[in-house]
Structure 1
Amino acid sequence: MELRGLVASLRENAQAADERRLLALTGDREAGIDAAYTVIEAAGVDEEAVSLVTTREGFRYHRLHPDHADELLGTTREIVVFDCHEGFSANALGQVTGAVDGGGLLVLLLPPLEDVPSELSALVDQVAVPPFSREAVGNRFRQRLVTTLRQHPGVAIVRLTATSAPAHDETAYEARIERDGLIEPAESTPNSEPHLYTDTPFPDAAYDTCLTADQARAVAQLSGLTTPGTAVVVEADRGRGKSSAAGLAAAALAADGRDVLVTAPSVDNAAELFARAGELLATLDCLAADDSSDCDADAADQTKRPLSTTAGGRIRFASPPTAAELPQSPDIVLVDEAAALPVGLLERLLDAPAVGFCTTVHGYEGAGRGFAVRFRERLAESTHDVIDVTLQEPIRYARNDPVEAWLAWTLLLDAEPPADQLVAAATPDSVDYRRIDGDALAGDEGLFREIVGLLVAAHYKTEPDDIVRLLDAPNLELRALVDDGHPVSVALLAREGGLSSDLQASIYGGERVQGNMLPDVLTSQLRDPAGAAPIGYRVMRIATHHAARSRGLGSRLLSRCKAEFQDAVDWFGVGFGATPRLLSFWRANGYRTVHVSVTANATSGEHSALMLSPTSAVGRELTDRHVQWFRERIASQLADPLAGVDPNVVRGAIAAATLPDEDGPESALALDERGWRLLAGVAYGPGTYEAAPHVFRQLAMAQLTESVADLSPRDERLLVRKALQGAPWAAVADELCFVSERECKRAFGSIAKAFCEAVDTEIVVDERRRYEE
């Protein structure tokens, strides 16, 4: 069979089952590009139905660089050609595969399969971080890719050999079919037909647009958002039409006059939702005049402005941190790709009158397990009436599509943590500490899947690229606590620092050095020329099974890791989105704050905290000076770039910025005579906060680092919001639930008195006696 004949057979085979097929063109790159043209021509598809993902330019078809493969998400193509010779990544592989429609072909251009483990240099570039060489990078993921291509149904493999014929001529290569990828026809189960739900407040047109019964059912369930106090959760694997369902529901709600606020990790994630909403509103002929002429506008552009309706409703987009503030009091909030957002942010959205969460269970940009496990607990504890709906039928291809199954196997998209009952009895005394290297993961698929499942469950952003790092990155160490062979808690450690003097100078000059996050910040941002010299391990990920939490397993794992490596490195460190709970956890495990980023993450709204725990004299010197520098600058930062940070985050960050051998409360305060008189005047006399803001700023720092006085958490939050962040009285009184500004101001008298009684200096005694007399 010739290549053209194979393509025709693959297309016929795929279309008959409404499935996709994968065609691997292996061999010389130029021959692969020529053969790709033959495939496209033999398939007989329109040019608009083809995309080439390649670093090369000059094609007549739609072309994307692999770095921009995510632009294919939410689109459909009959053929996608992915040139894997340059720019290949696991993330891009997932993104391009998802764009292929039922009956279509995913075409991969690859070196000869036997050479793949030593090729695909982009994967090496991705995980080769200084001071490790490229030779230290493993090839286990590349071996995995070859294995899945050779063994999975629906994958055709053609070996190409270049000839001397002119380019783009059929004779420019010889093709040998090594595997035809054809699947014997089976009894297929067609997707069910959608039907109307006349017992809902949504118009029939909302259901007429649906492609499957699953999708229509999701739209009907989302109609429950018309009732305040309702939360609807729509869960699905990718490609099931949940974003479209959310868009149809949003349109129906807006057509009825409701204000719908949409949020997602990025504007691009919401493009499909807005596109379907705009189409339905146009069908219903209820777009406001300003929007009706733009109903065919690019979907990404539609998210940048509200869609308004003649009934006074609208659909508008806001970034997750902004949406969490519920700007202009929306009637309903819709969250797309909810699994890619932190649980704390999702929790804040529950303050909306009604809220819908759409989440991908197994996806290319993370998975929904963390959402399902952690946020579900918070949702169950809320006062909302929760409606659940799961979409199982794919929109663009049949349910048993072999290419979807191949991708899930290759990238572990369907990995799950151990079943609850397997680890429910685990305790720090029952588990074993285990080193797990890339060979152990590659040789034990069950263990590999359980570890990846744990990481996905604990972190809202776990990507396919992380699979490559786990298998092949030379700077990573994986450690686990296992119970009867099942991982209960895992830690992923990244070796950083120990860089050459030349690299240190480059970082200090502003150059980015891959894989050295903490040394980079210490050196380039915090201006420490020696910040990248000490060697350390950054805790990239730590995850404990949800069925065994709050038993000290995470802390036990950290202590075992530190005990194993402390003689070989200078520090352990961590960087994370700062929340009070996480700051408390890391502080309890001996980590100290050295930095809080002045800008918030655009998706989570959290400010990153960096913390260090030294293991050597060099590490202690590094940590101590950065803790000191942090304490010197944080008060000024809180009055400007950090003025809006949660005061509980501020309390936690500063409380963890401890220095060894501090001299106690009196030294921490170190007020001069006038300072003590001002403080005593507020405590016992007619003095006011306004006359002594600098004194209370110093008191706040002393309290948060040394716990000088016996203050309540609200007193400490008051010190943060007013003395350090300079918030207006009205805002402070409202946030901290004082009945009035006057009461809020009076609280400073009690705070001042607590400090005076804690230190009780001679000046304070004299001042107090004066007022008493």
Structure 2
Amino acid sequence: MNVSALAGRLRAEAEQTDERRLLVLAGDRDAGIDAAYDIVEGVGFSDDGVTFVTTREGFRFERLHPKHADRLLGTTRDCVVLDAHGEFSPNAIGRLVGAVDGGGLLVLLTPPLDEWPTTRGGFDEYLAVPPFTVDDVTGRFRERLVRTLREHPGVAIVDVESETVERDGLTGESSTESTEPLRSQSTQVAPDTALFPALAYESCLTDDQARAVRSLELLRHPGHAVVVEADRGRGKSSAAGLAAGSLAAEGRDVLVTAPGSRNAEEVFVRARVLLDGLDALAGESENDEEGQHLRTVEGGHVRFADPPTAATLPNNPDVVVVDEAAALPVRLLSQFVAAPSAGFFTTIHGYEGAGRGFSVRFRDHLAESDKVVRDVHLDDPIRYARNDPVETWAFRALLLDARPAVDPLVEDVTVDSVEYRAISPDELVEDEHLLHEAFGLLVLAHYRTEPTDLARLLDAPNLSLRALVADGHVVSVALLAREGNLDAETRREMYDGGRVRGNMLPDVLTSQLRDEDAAVPVGYRVMRIATHHAVRSRGLGSRLLSEIRDELADDVDWLGVGYGATPELLDFWDRNGYRTVHLSTTRNATSGEYSALMLDPTSEAGEAVQSRHTDWFLRRVEGVLADLLDDVDPDVARAAIRATHGEYAERLSDRDWRVVAGASYGPGLYGTAPRAFRDLAVRHLSNPDAADLTDREERLLVRKVLQCRPWDDVADELDYLSTSQCMRSLGDAYKPLVDVYGDEVAHAERERYTE
């Protein structure tokens, strides 16, 4: 059987079952491309239904570079050819699988399958972070990928060099033989009591989608929240767009947000088409600074804002639509609940993110809110039939459905009943159960996990895994990245602004904080740490960090971490011995949080790095808080400064002390010497146990003294009855500081007003 004939049979079976088929062309790259051309021409695909994803040029079909594979998200193709020679990326597979329509083919060009795991390419170079080289990168991910290709139904494999068929990929099913329904697509009619336009329902492709749109009518009424969950390819974003367009047609202001503007593209496409069909658009769509903006003749809007901006509910929208909600942190998601009504749309399985933060912690928050919540689940695929073998292959190959152990298996675990383990990549590859549980927890530890993260876990030479295990089940896991130990040339490159991959902490300390020697010591950064949700708050995370320190302390100079700072997380890392060395001066574009960098030294060299950066952080923090960090949460600032445990020596002269003591106990004024007040505030916050201040008084120190916010704003935010009361409270807050830290001059000034 020649390749074109096999492809024809695969496509015929795919069309009969409304499924897709995967055809692997293994061997020489040129031979694979020629064979792919023969398939496209021989099977009879239309040119506009074919896309080649490759670094090669000169195709008459649409051609995309693998780095731009995401441009096919939300689109439909009859045939996608992915060239995995040279620029192979696991993310590209995840992005392209969903673009192939039912009855279509995904064609994968690979080196000979037996050789592919050890064949070097651009992705191996990407994983070889300094000081490691490409020779240190393994091929376990590709080895596992090849195994899935050889075992999974619906996957054909052809050796293009010998022109032999290893697997024909035919399942022997047809639409007449199968008992499973094909795509649940039918012509939709608006319900008699529908409140959205009939066109919104007529635009739906499945009964599922129509039911979702019907539920989304609740967003017309304040006090409602609708949660729509689905696997990829079920039309949830289209349903969101139809609802947004319907609401805007009525004159409502709909604010759309997503991890990136690209993620919301389908929402705007569907909203625009609907509004155009209703003759409801007011002029052409526009692009604001944030993204797209549709206006309607009734004064409605469908507008985009990035998540941190959207969380402030700018211009008081009537409805908020959050697409790919599971890819956002719980802190941001919780703020959207304050909108009059809100729709949350999320992917259950997929590289967009499927964090437990959404499915557990945020859902708990939503249930406790005053919103009436409606849940909608979409099961029916839009582009292909249920149980499509290519979809199930992608789930298995990329672990899109990775999950931790089910609750009953671990809910009785205690900190004393677990075993500490260093889990090697070889163990993960050999034990699918272990891999699913460990990776499933890592997925939940971060608001965005991609297929590339699985490849890093299995192949990157700088990463290692540690876990707590109970009765064979992973209950807590930490992913560690080895950093530092960089040679002089690499350090100079970093110091001069060059980016060195895989060395986040040395990079920041060297390039931003101008400490070239910081990249000499070696350490482990905790990239991710997660504990099973059923056993949280039992000390397992701290136990895991303690075990890691005991194991690695003699081999490295420091342990470190970098993360989006919240008061709770800062306190957690502080309790586990990590000390603040930096707060980023820009917010993360998705989480809206400033990042904290912390170190736990394990040697004299590590102690020297941590000590000098903690000391410098305290010396510079007052200036940064008054400028680039003037909007950071005061509780984050308090916790970050407290976690230094530094010995900050204030620089107050005799005259400074007289002003501070006079403003606290007498008629002195804060505004005559604000630097003295800032120095004393930093000293107290770095060692808050020395003087007894309330939480509100410490927030007052941050907001007014360190961040230099206007008195009226501070009084309003901190719930003082008046600005004058806020001013008096600042003086009162400094009395204990004068008592504890003041010298003889300060105490003498105090006595003038207390005798």
Query: Does the alignment pair 1:212 with 2:199?
Result: no
Deviates more, 1:690-699 or 1:97-106: 690-699
Considering only aligned residues, what root-mean-square deviation do their CA atoms show, in Å?
1.7
Q: Hey, what does 1:393 align to over in structure 2?
A: 380
For residues 95-494 of structure 1, the aligned pairs below 5 Å read 95-161=95-161, 175-185=163-173, 186-192=178-184, 193=186, 194-288=188-282, 290-291=283-284, 304-494=291-481
Report the CA distance shift for 1:362/1:175 in structure 2 as closer, same or farther (over 3 A).
same
C-alpha distance in structure 2 between counterparts of 1:753 and 1:129, whole Å: 53
- Secondary structure of the 2:525 match is strand
Secondary structure of residue in 2 paired with 1:613 = strand
- Using the TM superposition, give the Cα deviation of residue 368 of structure 1 relative to its aligned residue in structure 2, in angstroms: 4.4
For residues 719 and 46 of structure 2, the distance between their equivalents in structure 1, rounded to whole angstroms, comes to 64
Aligned twin of 2:707: 725
Q: Secondary structure at the match of 1:738?
A: coil
Equivalent-residue separation in structure 1 for 2:724 and 2:466 (angstroms): 55
Counterpart-to-counterpart distance in 1, 2:16 and 2:126:
39
| 1:170 alignment partner in structure 2 | none
Give 1:618-657 correspondences, 5 Å limit.
618-657=605-644
Q: What is aligned with 2:91?
A: 91
Report the CA distance between 1:706 and its aligned residue: 1.3
DSSP 3-state at the match of 2:606: helix
Q: Aligned equivalents of 1:249 and 1:758: distance in 2?
A: 61
Deviates further, 577-586 or 2-11: 2-11
Matched, 1:695 2:701: no
Q: What TM-score do the two structures reach when normalised by structure 1?
A: 0.94
Q: CA shift at 1:761, angstroms?
A: 4.1
DSSP-derived class of the 2:518 partner = coil
- How many angstroms apart in 2 are the aligned matches of 1:78 and 1:543? 40
The residue aligned with 2:535 is 548
Aligned to 1:758: 740
Q: Is the 8 A contact 2:50 2:80 kept in 1?
A: yes
CA distance in 1 between partners of 2:555 and 2:265 (Å): 49
Q: Render the CA deviation track for 1:694-725: whole Å, top value 9, x for unaligned.
A: 12211210121011421111111111111111
Residue 766 (structure 1) shift: 2.9
Report the Cα distance in structure 1 between the residues aligned to 2:398 and 2:346, rounded to whole angstroms.
19
Q: Secondary structure at the match of 1:306?
A: strand
- Summarize deviations over 1:13-70 as a string: whole Å, max 9, x none: 1011111000111111011111111111122122211111111122221111111111
Q: Output aligned runs, 1:522-601, within 5 Å.
A: 522-601=509-588
- 3-state SS of paired residue (2:172): coil
1:45 counterpart letter in structure 2: F
Please state how far the C-alpha of 1:301 moved relative to its aligned partner: 9.3
* Residues 594-624 of structure 1 deviation map (CA, whole Å, 9 limit, x = unaligned): 1111111111111111100000011101110
Show structure 1 runs of 5+ residues with no match: 162-173
Aligned to 1:165: none
1:238 counterpart SS class: coil
The one-character-per-residue Cα deviations of 1:649-696 (angstroms, maximum 9, x if unpaired) are 11111111223xx4xxxx744532112211122122222322232122
Quick one: which amino acid aligns to residue 215 of structure 2? Q
Stretch moving more, 581-590 or 758-767:
758-767
| Matching of residue 513 in structure 1 with residue 500 in structure 2 | yes
Following superposition, the deviation at residue 188 of structure 1 comes to 3.1
Report the Cα offset of residue 195 of structure 1: 4.5
The superposition leaves residues 237-263 of structure 1 with CA deviations (integer Å, 9 ceiling, x where unpaired) of: 111100000000001111111110000
Question: Which deviates further from its counterpart, 131-140 or 273-282?
Answer: 131-140
* d(CA) in 2 for partners of 1:464, 1:514: 18
In 1, the alpha carbon distance for the partners of 2:289 and 2:84 equals: 33
Structure 2: segments with no counterpart, 5+ residues: none
SS at match of 1:749: helix
Contact 2:263 2:324 (C-alpha < 8 Å) held by counterparts: yes
Alignment partners' CA distance in 1, 2:428 and 2:212: 38
Alpha-carbon distance in 2 for matches of 1:60, 1:591? 57
CA distance in 2 between counterparts of 1:89 and 1:23 reads 18
Contact 1:596 1:609 in 2 (8 A): yes
Instruction: Report the equivalent of 1:167.
Output: none
**Alignment of structure 1 residues 59-70 onto 2, 5 Å:** 59-70=59-70
One-letter amino acid of the structure 1 residue matched with residue 163 of structure 2: A
Partners of 2:64 and 2:621 in 1: CA distance: 44
State the AA in 2 paired with 1:36. Answer: A
Per the normalisation by structure 2, the TM-score is 0.97
CA change 1:216–1:616 in 2 (3 A) is same
Name the aligned partner's letter for residue 320 of structure 1.
Answer: P
In 2, are the aligned partners of 1:577 and 1:609 still within 8 Å (CA)?
Answer: yes
Deviation at 1:176, TM superposition (A): 2.2
Conserved? CA contact 1:361–1:369, under 8 Å? no
Q: CA deviation at 1:469?
A: 1.4
| Whole-angstrom CA distance in 2 between matches of 1:278 and 1:390 | 24
State the 1:344 CA deviation. Answer: 0.7
Q: Deviations over 1:191-228 (max 9, x none)?
A: 33344333342121111100001111111111111121
Greater shift in the superposed pair: 690-699 or 269-278: 690-699
